[in-house]
Amino acid sequence: MLSKLSVRKPYTVLVAVILIIVLGVISFQGMATDLLPSLDLPYVVVVTSYPGASPEKVEQSVTRPLEAALGTSSGLDNLQSVSSENASIIILEYVQSTNMDSAMIELSGTVDMASANFDDMVGSPMLMKISPDMMPIIVASVDYEGMSVDELSAFASETVIPAFERIDGVASVSPEGMVEKRVEIKLNPQNIKELNDKIQKEMESKFDETQQQLTDAMTELENGQATLADETKSQTSKLGQAGSQLNNAIANLNSILAEETLLETNKAVFQAEKAGLEQLLQMFSGFITTPFTPGQAPTREQIQELINQWETTFPEGIQGLSPSEIFARLAGEDGELPPELANMSEEQLALLLDQAMKAPARIAELDMEIQNIDMRMTALQAMKPQIQSALDQANSGYSALESGKMTASIELAKAQMQLQNGQTELETALAEFEKAKGEALTSLDLNSMITEDMLEGILFAQNFSMPAGYLVDGEVRNLVKVGDSFADSEEIRDLVIFNTEPVGDILLSDIADVTLTDNSDELYAKINGNDGVLLVFQKQSTASTAEVSDLIQDEILSLQKQHPGLRVTQLMDQGDYIDIVTGSVLENLVIGGILAILILLLFLRDIRPTIVIAFSIPISLMFAVTLMYFTNVTLNVISLSGLALGVGMLVDNSIVVIENIYHMRHLGVPSAKAAIEGAKQVAGAIFASTLTTICVFLPIVFTEGISRQLFTDMGLTIAYSLTASLIVALTLVPAMGATLLRNVNEKKHGIFDSVIKVYKRMLAGALRFKFIVLILTVILLGVSIYGVTVMGTAFIPAMNAPQLSASLSTPEEFSDQEAYALNDEVMARILEVKDVETVGAMAGGQSGLALLGGGGSESESTFYILLKDKRSMTNREVEKAISEKVADLNVELSISSDSMDMAALGGSGIQINIKGYDLDQLASISNEVAEILKTVPGTTDVTNGLEDADTETRIIIDKSAAMREGLTVAQVYGEIADALQTDVQATILSQDDDNFPVVLIKDQQKQISKDMLPYFSFDVTKMDGTQSKVFLIDIAEIVDTPSLQSINRAGQSRYMTVSAGIAEGYNIGLVSRDVEAKLENYQAPAGYEVTVEGENEMIQSSLKDLVLMILLAIVFIYLIMVAQFQDLLSPFIVLFTLPLAFTGGLLLLWATGMELSIIAMLGFLVLAGIVVNNGIVFVSYVNQLKDDGIPQKEALIDAGEARIRPILMTALTTILAMSTMALGLNAGSEIMQPMGIVTIGGLTYATLLTLFVVPILYDLFHRRQNARHLLVSSDEE
């Protein structure tokens, strides 16, 4: 029907072709190019911090309660956790159909309920949904010839990173290994001492003044005694003067004592005002992520977060805003307020907010006032006992003096004695005053007053800026903003800390060293010997990976052109993988087209049919691309791989149709009729063969998880391309054939005609000796099955990628500089290897290369090695060459290429999980299993994870002993944690678009060493008010114990993992088989379970799924053929081509030394849909000949003669199109090479034997069927 319409209305076909080309071009331009299809990963990670907690404590207090709560989540499939030092990580895996947005909402509520019972030190759990968009699209290194790391960091921050961030589609550019600057403030004891001496001199001057008044009184008293007898009246007057001077001294002393009461009163007033303001701020704590704790003062971070929230909500303050506007902005989109504010009217809320916004500034002022009062009270407290004693003595002397004066006229002798007593007491008072003066000056020490805590509070309060409201002048409103942040480090140095006489202003630089420092000494990041930094690029979720990668590449070239000496090296680029696959598709398209042309010219020896095929290829592709666009299939590695597979089969339908039309033209049929009838004659066969190939991928619909998301694109792409080729073969090919094949000259095919004659004789012989052929076929099938048992298995073949990673372990006794020098030497030697182009290295815990499989402990350095594009050495040879280069250095250098290929996705090597509860028992079992594993040939690097256990110092508090001394465990922890802290961040300095932390460095002498830890002391105030010192060793036991780095759990059960690598020359599948045999005899204790997992477990699971898919595909293929042939027997005969295909594929895979991998199994899946096409074409034509009355055996030979040419042509086009893939000539083609080998081996073997085995089986089965028909016919007669 289609061919008839196409031949009669060629312009309709022309219009359709033009439309397809236009739609295809537009669709291709509008399609996003990405590395992988859009994946909705059903994973959520819950991360919870617990500072200072051991893995056991984290597991008990955080992980287990969260697991119990999260285990009831809807749709949860699996739950795993890792409890490590300071943190808990829980990984939740959901079933694929789960709505992850709904799951996140449910988890949020569950986590909030569970975390309500956590300790105060436990942080808030953080939920994170895993998405492929989190992966970086490019990781690049930056180095500049002759630049230091400090200069390079500044250049990258100011020039390179902003240039990349401006690129459309780039979401973020994160630097690693950059120099980080900070302002360090360290108290200067010498400066404080000099300042303290100056203040003490002033205090001495004041003490001397008071002392002089007491001395003058004593002098007057002595003079009075000398002249008392002679001049009583005059003496009485002088005694009165002495009394006045004593009064003045007593008044001075009383005024000093009275000042304390005034200060306490002021402090109480300030503290009450501050508490009221903090309570006011408490009412607004619901607007920030870390709400205030009831009963506790808000932290500076919480106040700053509240200020930032107000600045965001009210950027110009609230002056001029109506109460309703203020209410609306506070309530936000959901229209809800925190419970504390919910019942207020709009006017009350506006008034309250105005007072609250002024509160932070007032709190800062009150803190300063309270700080000054505390300093003055500290000085007064130091002098108070001595002043009180002097005052008591002076009062006593004054009383005696007054008494002597009153009775002088009555009892002069008695008065004289009293005056002498007064003199004695005054002398005592002077002595006490001298003592008080010395003690007061000794106790008045600025070192105890000026502390890091005081400076932290001042820096925070002074680095303050906030809108206060508006100044209204008629119609003009001016925003009033109070305060300003620090402009630079000089302003911090010149900050006034306090003012005192006679010193005046005391600046921060007077008492502390303020320096701008960086961490360049702690960094090691080099590229080819130059200092470098690492840049990690992430794209926006809607952007195309390939386009963003190309734009970044263009910007790299532009920057390198603008700045000679700059080198930006892409260590990882998803765009490269896309370019490789795209290039491979285009190459296969070109090669497929060229080979199709050559095959046609070889078999038909005519250029005109060749032109028809040449047109059918691009039209089919444009048709497929259009369908991909409208069904939201992106251009990614998976879909393009499907297109690449489909390219070899695109021309098959067209070849069958054009060959049949060409054959009928040679029989003398007119061109139009030949085009219609030729297409019609094979339409059913090519429709069935196309449908069988497409239905191979139908079982993907029944799979779950990532496999379905990944391979659905491949199945759809192949289906679209083959559907397009079928439509083109039944429309465009007949329309063009009717025109181009009007004049056909008979061509002689001497060699091919001879081949056909030989084939006819061989087929006739095979039909006579059927069982010999079948026995040979079965023997080869048995050999191939034996090959499966010895060839081994693999997940995905290792790719000979141009990237390697290496890990260098340096001795622990090495200093940083010695380790860096060793890294330089290793890098230089690696660069000597001829095929190495770039070497990047990072030391210690720097995380840059961890994204690429590197990273490690502080004593490890990671090397990232880029190989040249055109190289003569394989990865294994490069690894060997590097090992030889560094052999004389006596270093442990581990080189690997696993992290650079797709095999790393499933892990590598053997993993044995031991499940149970008791950690000691788990450790014992894991040691036993590790010893068993070491005895298995082919295993290497056996480890149970206990070798890297850390040693921790545990302080076990005797709670009773501590309580007797007035201490709790929490108090002990708090003071020790504070002493161990080396620095504290006070505020942030914003300068030139950079933010520098301002850090207070603690005095080294105040920190604890391991030897002095037992003698760490606590100042304790006892019940009776006395002070005492308590040493840690008196209330605690200090022990060093081994500590697990982490505790792993799966299904709420603990487990340890024993892992082993596979030695070179051994296969994971075969070694795993030996491991399982060894472990069969091992009996684990009751309650403990030993399971073999790892790469082999994943391989077996994937192979099982693929085998089921192949079996299901065979069922579909059979049912489609039943519908095509309207017969149950003929399809069964065609199915016998599948064992032939599998035999050929397995034999070639075995012969080439390949392993049975997932990619090879995909090849068998594709092969199942391809090889039956030849059988369908053959059996369909035999049935047509039999329907025309030709005897069965003659029909079989005639069908073989007529169909050998299209069968060989279609097989050869597919085989030759796959040849580049099978030979592994393209970059990265090692991954897909097994598929090419299986397809070529299976298709070659099946095509050759189909020409003999299918006729034999057809003759056998249909002979019996014919005999049954004859018996039925004779019975009816």
For residue range 249-263, what is the model confidence (pLDDT) as tens digits?
Answer: 666 666 666 667 777
What percentage of residues in the chain have a pLDDT greater than 90?
A: 4
Helix (H) or strand (E) holding 644: helix 637-666
Cβ count within 10 A of residue 360: 22
Banded pLDDT at 1043 (limits 50, 70, 90): low
Q: Report which listed range, 243-247, 280-284, 521-525, 1108-1112, is most confident.
A: 1108-1112
Give the pLDDT confidence of 338-380 residue by residue, as tens digits. 777 777 777 777 777 777 777 777 787 777 888 777 777 777 7
Query: What is residue 626's predicted lDDT score, i.e. its pLDDT?
Result: 93
Q: Report which listed range, 212-216, 673-677, 1010-1014, 1160-1164, is most confident.
A: 673-677
Query: What is residue 242's predicted lDDT score, i.e. its pLDDT?
Result: 61
Query: Looking at domain 950-1043, does it have CATH number 3.30.2090.10?
Result: yes
User: Helix, strand, coil % (nearest 5) of the chain?
Assistant: 60, 15, 20
CATH of domain 803-900: 3.30.70.1430
Burial status of residue 439 (CB atoms within 10 A of its CB: 0-12, 13-18, 19 or more): middle
Residue 665 has pLDDT above 50, yes or no: yes
Indicate the average pLDDT of the chain. 77
Burial status of residue 233 (CB atoms within 10 A of its CB: 0-12, 13-18, 19 or more): exposed
Secondary structure E strands in 591-733: none
Write a three-state SS string for 1182-1226.
HHHHHHCCCCHHHHHHHHHHHHHHHHHHHHHHHHHHHHHHHHCCC
Judged by average pLDDT, the poorest of 276-280, 326-330, 415-419 is 415-419
Helix (H) or strand (E) holding 715: helix 706-730
Q: Which position has the higher pLDDT, 298 or 885?
A: 885
Q: Distance (Å, rounded) from C-alpha 1135 to C-alpha 1141?
A: 10
The residues, any chain, with a CB within 8 Å of residue 670's CB and separated by 6 or more, are: none
Query: What is residue 238's predicted lDDT score, i.e. its pLDDT?
Result: 60
Banded pLDDT at 855 (limits 50, 70, 90): very low
Banded pLDDT at 1276 (limits 50, 70, 90): very low
Query: What is residue 316's predicted lDDT score, i.e. its pLDDT?
Result: 74
User: Assign residue 790 a region: left if phi > 0, alpha if psi is -120 to 50, beta otherwise?
Assistant: alpha
Q: Which position has the higher pLDDT, 175 or 504?
A: 175
Phi, psi of 731 (to 5 degrees): -125, -65
Query: What is residue 852's predicted lDDT score, i.e. its pLDDT?
Result: 38
Q: Distance (Å, rounded) from C-alpha 1100 to C-alpha 1095?
A: 9
Query: What is residue 859's predicted lDDT score, i.e. its pLDDT?
Result: 65
Query: What is residue 906's predicted lDDT score, i.e. its pLDDT?
Result: 45
Query: What is residue 20's predicted lDDT score, i.e. its pLDDT?
Result: 92
The residues, any chain, with a CB within 8 Å of residue 924's CB and separated by 6 or more, are: none
Give the pLDDT confidence of 192-203 residue by residue, as tens digits. 777 777 777 776
CATH of domain 910-949+1047-1094: 3.30.70.1440
Query: What is residue 230's predicted lDDT score, i.e. its pLDDT?
Result: 57
Q: CA dihedral defined by 1128, 1130, 1135, 1136, rounded to 10 degrees?
A: 130
Q: Fold for 43-130, please state it.
A: Alpha-Beta Plaits (3.30.70)
Banded pLDDT at 740 (limits 50, 70, 90): confident
Helix (H) or strand (E) holding 160: none
Secondary structure E strands in 351-503: 464-473, 476-484, 496-500
- How do the domains of the chain map onto residue ranges? 1-30+606-630+643-742, 43-130, 189-476, 764-793+1127-1269, 803-900, 910-949+1047-1094, 950-1043
User: Assign residue 727 a region: left if phi > 0, alpha if psi is -120 to 50, beta otherwise?
Assistant: alpha
CATH for 764-793+1127-1269, among 1.20.1640.10, 3.90.230.10, 3.40.50.300, 3.20.20.70?
1.20.1640.10
Give the pLDDT confidence of 597-611 residue by residue, as tens digits. 787 777 767 788 778
Judge contact between 126 and 46, C-beta under 8 A.
Answer: yes
Query: What is residue 1185's predicted lDDT score, i.e. its pLDDT?
Result: 85
Query: Which of 252, 195, 813, 177 is closest to 522 using CA atoms?
Result: 177
Q: Report which listed range, 465-469, 677-681, 1045-1049, 1165-1169, is most confident.
A: 677-681
Query: What is residue 475's predicted lDDT score, i.e. its pLDDT?
Result: 78
Report how far apart, in Å, the C-alpha atoms of 50 and of each of 80, 104, 417 are: 19, 23, 77
Judge contact between 309 and 287, C-beta under 8 A.
Answer: yes
Secondary structure E strands in 983-1113: 983-991, 994-1001, 1017-1021, 1027-1031, 1036-1043, 1046-1050, 1053-1062, 1089-1094
Query: Which of 1161, 1169, 1137 is closest to 781 using CA atoms?
Result: 1137
1128-1162: b (≥16 Cβ within 10 Å) or e? eebbebbbbbbbbbbbbbbbbbbeeebbbbbbbbb
Residue 1159 has pLDDT above 80, yes or no: no
Query: What is residue 905's predicted lDDT score, i.e. its pLDDT?
Result: 44
Query: Which of 1157, 1174, 1165, 1178 is closest to 1239 using CA atoms?
Result: 1165
Cα 80 off chain centre by: 17
Average pLDDT of span 768-793: 81
For residue 1227, give both structure tokens.
């970059």
Query: What is residue 180's predicted lDDT score, i.e. its pLDDT?
Result: 78
pTM given for the model: 0.65
Judge contact between 720 and 647, C-beta under 8 A.
Answer: no
Average pLDDT of span 585-602: 73
Secondary structure E strands in 447-491: 464-473, 476-484
CA angle 1036, 1037, 1042 (to 5 degrees): 135
Q: Distance (Å, rounded) from C-alpha 957 to C-alpha 1037?
A: 7
The residues, any chain, with a CB within 8 Å of residue 929's CB and separated by 6 or more, are: 912, 914, 944, 1058, 1079, 1082, 1090
CATH of domain 1-30+606-630+643-742: 1.20.1640.10
Query: What is residue 1121's predicted lDDT score, i.e. its pLDDT?
Result: 83
Omega of the bond leading into 802 within 30 degrees of 0 (cis):
no
| Angle, helix 607-630 to helix 10-30, in steps of 10 degrees | 50
What percentage of residues in the chain have a pLDDT greater than 70?
A: 79
Same fold, 764-793+1127-1269 and 910-949+1047-1094: no
Residue 1173 has pLDDT above 70, yes or no: yes
Judge contact between 656 and 1206, C-beta under 8 A.
Answer: yes
Query: What is residue 552's predicted lDDT score, i.e. its pLDDT?
Result: 93
Q: Distance (Å, rounded) from C-alpha 1029 to C-alpha 1017?
A: 6
Query: What is residue 908's predicted lDDT score, i.e. its pLDDT?
Result: 61
Query: What is residue 901's predicted lDDT score, i.e. its pLDDT?
Result: 44
Secondary structure E strands in 58-169: 76-84, 87-94, 126-129, 138-144
Q: Which position has the higher pLDDT, 723 or 135?
A: 723
The residues, any chain, with a CB within 8 Å of residue 76's CB and separated by 6 or more, are: 70, 92, 93, 94
Query: What is residue 419's predicted lDDT score, i.e. its pLDDT?
Result: 57
Cα 387 off chain centre by: 67
Q: Which position has the higher pLDDT, 1242 or 1169?
A: 1242
Judge contact between 1017 and 1024, C-beta under 8 A.
Answer: no
Q: Which position has the higher pLDDT, 1267 or 1237?
A: 1237
Q: Distance (Å, rounded) from C-alpha 827 to C-alpha 816?
A: 16
Q: Distance (Å, rounded) from C-alpha 173 to C-alpha 164?
A: 7
Q: Distance (Å, rounded) from C-alpha 855 to C-alpha 273?
A: 53
DSSP for 1113-1138, written as a single string: HHHHHHHHHHHHHT-SHHHHHHHTHH
Query: What is residue 1273's predicted lDDT score, i.e. its pLDDT?
Result: 43
The residues, any chain, with a CB within 8 Å of residue 101's CB and separated by 6 or more, are: none
Q: Which position has the higher pLDDT, 399 or 811?
A: 811
Average pLDDT of span 462-479: 79
Residue 1275 has pLDDT above 50, yes or no: no
Residue 851 has pLDDT above 50, yes or no: no
Banded pLDDT at 23 (limits 50, 70, 90): very high
Q: Which position has the higher pLDDT, 815 or 962?
A: 962
Phi, psi of 450 (to 5 degrees): -90, 105
Query: What is residue 903's predicted lDDT score, i.e. its pLDDT?
Result: 43
Cβ count within 10 A of residue 43: 14
